[in-house]
Structure 1
Amino acid sequence: MSTTSRDGAIGSVLYRALWRWHFFAGLLILPFVLLLCVTGSIYLFKNSINDGLHAELRLVEPQSGPALAPSTLVAAALTAHPGSLRGYNPAPAPDRSAEVRITGADGVKDTVYVDPFSGKVLGTLWDAGAAGSPIMYTVRKLHSLKSVGWAAERIIEGVAGWMVLMTASGLYLWWPRGRKSGVVSVRGTPAKRVFWRDLHAVTGLVVGAFIVFLAMTGLPWSGYWGKKFYDYSYSLGLGMPDGYWSKYPVSTVPLKEVVDRAPWAIENQPVPLSRSAAGVPAKLDDVVRTLDRLGMAPGYAISIPTKPDGVFTASVYPDDIRQERVVHLDQYSGEVLYDMGLQDLGLLGRAAEWGVSIHMGQAFGLANRLVLLAALAGIVLLAVSGCVMWWKRRPAGGLGAPTLPEGKTVPVPLLAFALATGLFFPMVGLSMLAFLVIEGASYGVRSLRTA
């Protein structure tokens, strides 16, 4: 066999093997991709949706006079809804209400909305944290499947990895190889399979970069991959600089448990302790004044200490990620113990924060959200067109999966690529092993039938 014909044969096997894996992976992750796209599209506009659903709680009539003191607003909230104070969110704008977070006698965590000018209690919602409302909390949990359980969360992590691989394999399958038609244009009509084949290929070409970006910027928050990425970033000094938290004693409570939205690079770092565990706690009014003097961006939230050695923790995750900040203040003296902004993070920490901010449609305002919405719509079209293409080509009563040429084995380059990607995306690697076992068993059954 000449070198040219041998390369051609290997190329044919490689093409069909990648096509087969692309086919099966696409069918398996299709429901999850649709779930991610639909919930992600909704969550992009969570603030607007929350304002529409709960305008009577979130919006107020701006007044020319000064707002009431935070302590007055908290007192009004606790009078209307008795409980223990957990947190306070100053009104982020003149037309916004202040939020008082409490834990009721029944243990339920609620957010009480108060007009900052009149002190009128506007109403209460179950505390949904950064999601802003119970319905957006549900959407957020569905997006990650964290509420379903450990296994479902790992599945979503695997889906994110497979989306990256599907993009790479799809680009390989799309490559023209001398073909001129159907490369960047769509042939035929919707009645023809070639129409759906071209639509799938061209759509994939357009949204491929968005798929990779969304998958990779979502993975830092995943259970296994994200934890390893966090550990490596920290050990290399590229996440949270080593020693930043060593100036004062620290608790065993991670930051993510006391604030609604903790920066990725420090969410697992322990919250510091106050210098003493006794005395007269600082007044909330003074804490707010200190934070305003420090220049905290509007929209920040304050977590109230619940233990004698606890601290006040203020955090903000604004649209302008450069103003992201976490500040800890001593419970008694009100002294600033830690003041961390985006500039204090390492290279990977800053990159992760920028990536997540864009991923959530925050960094560049409405344009950011509209571009991502269009990309998500394109990904839905990609999934649907692939499904329709398969349905039109599958034989009656059969699956219609691409098959390998008879007598050929999977090429070594593909196995090496699978090994490398399986190590980089462990959940993908586990699913690959499962697929290989099923393929091997299926091949054995076919061999027995033809023997």
Structure 2
Amino acid sequence: MSVTELVDPTPNPPANGDPARPVRRPAPWAALLVRLHFYAGVLVAPFLVVAALTGLAYTVSPQVDRILYGDQLTVAAVGEQPKPLAEQVAAARAAHPDGTIATVAIGTDEQTTRVTFSQPDLTDDRQHTVYVDPYTGEVKGQLTTWFGYTPASTWLDDLHRNLQLGEFGRHYSEIAASWLWVLALGGVVLWWRRRATSRTRMKHLLVPDLSAGKGVRRTRGWHATTGVWLAVGLLFLSVTGLTWSRFAGANFSAGLDALSASRPAVATGLDGVPPAAGGGEHQGHGGPAPTTAAEPASYERVLAVARDTGLNGPVEITPAEESGSAWVVNQNDNTWPVRLDRIAVDPATGTVVDRSDFADWPLLAQLSSLGIQAHMGQLFGPVNQVLLAALAIGLLCVIVWGYRMWWQRRPTRSDRRAALGTPPARGGVRDLPWWALLVGVPVVAALGWALPWFGVTLLGFLVVDVVLGLLARRRHRHAPA
């Protein structure tokens, strides 16, 4: 939730000459959490700022696509009956004779039909997509795409995932996602602990204390209360972001495989027909495609089978990568309620050789798929986009308030003046009971293994903290008596 300390480790100064209240030493675990929250907030916040800004930009990608590519993506007028799919595929092939067909996404309502080609001259999973008006058969335009994404959406997606730096840039987003859940949960715990000490203060868990005077107390109230409201959403963004990160995502996928909870595949083998050697449609190696994949009529037959078996709404046809394999038809409606059923079809006989329905997926696979679609702003349409934008803006506000607290807590006396506030007091680990260390160290180590960038950066924080402690001890030892 938050990005700097939510609990001021120094006691509030007495006002108007009132006698000072006795200083209550915080519990060791609370002192440790405050210090971790402070260091993680100050050092990880820049990564979160970038993730929030780029994520905010990505939330409007559908509107950007409409502005830039509306002529290609949508039709001028919705007709009563679409043209046969064979005619649409033939029109796309005539407009773009190079490459082999990778997928055909059927246009519905105002959406155009997308015929995507793999080509050997395109790299980084790029493909060439031809957009066809399903009601007139007219080619509306052509774009270089990435898994169906337009150039603008691809650019915004790369900006959010890796800052346009490729694999190296993915580290930034994984660091942000690895720490966001720690900051969110830690902030909620610290704020609850602070406010739950008095019944009169409980209401300020969800409403900032506007009676607080100007300064760090008021800033902390806005910082923490906003963070509490955002906590569930930030936890969601952290978890879903980690599922397709570079290292933690690989561990997540391995865990799903170990639990047999991955998205089920559809079997595409055809008995009695030996597969041909060589490349397939999706690889774009330039090898010959199966004969049926080159025949527009094959797409018409496969689509008819899919409709007869209940695959309604938007669907995408993927031709076989090699002879002797079935074609795959999958629903690609990611708006709630989702339609993600899939079948494998023999294009020669029209026989369904296998089927995978979303309702039959393992629960973890369902949750993972829905979570990713919600993270991308697709699950609930414009409402999803608004919620993501609100989360991004709220996180930016929390970060700004966090840094403001750091500034406001700086010593201003002439003999103690400093540029920034000091970190919370040390000693939290040293004061923990032995059983807490016995349980906590293995848990943290396991988290560091599952989330490698969390483990590496946490180790870095510990090293920095130890070095600062040694330097402070050395200065104290050499200070004049």
Tell whether the structures are fold-level matches, with TM greater than 0.5: yes
* Structure 2 CA distance for aligned equivalents of residues 32 and 155 of structure 1: 6
Instruction: Confirm or deny: 8 A CA contact 1:358 1:368 kept in the other structure.
Output: yes
- Deviation string 1:136-189 (CA, Å, 9 cap, x unpaired) is 112212222285344542442232231111112112221215254564323369
* Structure 2 CA distance for aligned equivalents of residues 117 and 278 of structure 1: 28
Q: Which residue of 1 aligns with 2:38?
A: 23
Q: Which residue of 2 aligns with 1:434?
A: 460
1:379 is aligned to 2:402:
no
1:116 is aligned to 2:134:
yes
Q: Which residue of 2 aligns with 1:207?
A: 230
> What is the TM-score with the length of structure 1 in the denominator?
0.80
Q: Output the amino acid matched with 1:178.
A: T
> 152, 165, 169: which one pairs with 2:182?
165
Q: Which residue of 2 aligns with 1:33?
A: 48
* Structure 1 CA distance for aligned equivalents of residues 213 and 116 of structure 2: 54
> 145, 159, 170: which one pairs with 1:142?
159
> 424, 431, 451: which one pairs with 1:403?
424
Q: Give the superposition deviation at 1:211.
A: 1.0
Q: Output the amino acid matched with 2:72.
A: L
1:289 is aligned to 2:304:
yes
Q: Give the superposition deviation at 1:213.
A: 1.7
Secondary structure at 2:39 match in 1 = helix
* Structure 2 CA distance for aligned equivalents of residues 411 and 158 of structure 1: 28
User: In the superposition, relative to structure 1, how do residues 448 and 229 fare at CA in structure 2: closer, same or farther (>3 Å)?
Assistant: same
User: In the superposition, relative to structure 1, how do residues 408 and 116 fare at CA in structure 2: closer, same or farther (>3 Å)?
Assistant: closer
Secondary structure at 1:301 match in 2 = strand
Q: Output the amino acid matched with 1:404.
A: A
User: In the superposition, relative to structure 1, how do residues 332 and 169 fare at CA in structure 2: closer, same or farther (>3 Å)?
Assistant: same
1:327 is aligned to 2:343:
yes
| RMSD between aligned residues | 3.5
Tell me which moved more, 101-110 or 158-167.
Answer: 101-110
Q: Give the superposition deviation at 1:420.
A: 1.8
**Structure whose alpha-carbon radius of gyration is higher:** 2
* Structure 1 CA distance for aligned equivalents of residues 425 and 453 of structure 2: 25
Q: Which residue of 2 aligns with 1:178?
A: 197
Q: Which residue of 1 aligns with 2:150?
A: 133
User: In the superposition, relative to structure 1, how do residues 304 and 336 fare at CA in structure 2: closer, same or farther (>3 Å)?
Assistant: same
Q: Output the amino acid matched with 2:178.
A: G
Q: Which residue of 2 aligns with 1:97?
A: 112
Higher helix share goes to which structure? 1
* Structure 2 CA distance for aligned equivalents of residues 230 and 21 of structure 1: 29
Q: Give the superposition deviation at 1:278.
A: 7.3
Tell me which moved more, 401-410 or 137-146.
Answer: 401-410
| Unaligned ranges ≥5, structure 2 | 1-23, 276-280, 284-288, 412-416
Q: Which residue of 2 aligns with 1:305?
A: 320
* Structure 1 CA distance for aligned equivalents of residues 441 and 375 of structure 2: 27
Q: Which residue of 1 aligns with 2:9?
A: none
> What is the TM-score with the length of structure 2 in the denominator?
0.76
> 356, 360, 371: which one pairs with 2:372?
356
Give % identity.
Answer: 25
User: In the superposition, relative to structure 1, how do residues 431 and 419 fare at CA in structure 2: closer, same or farther (>3 Å)?
Assistant: farther
Instruction: Confirm or deny: 8 A CA contact 2:266 2:344 kept in the other structure.
Output: no
User: In the superposition, relative to structure 1, how do residues 245 and 72 fare at CA in structure 2: closer, same or farther (>3 Å)?
Assistant: closer
Q: Give the superposition deviation at 1:390.
A: 1.6
User: In the superposition, relative to structure 1, how do residues 64 and 406 fare at CA in structure 2: closer, same or farther (>3 Å)?
Assistant: closer
Q: Output the amino acid matched with 2:254.
A: D
Q: Give the superposition deviation at 1:197.
A: 1.2
* Structure 1 CA distance for aligned equivalents of residues 152 and 212 of structure 2: 40
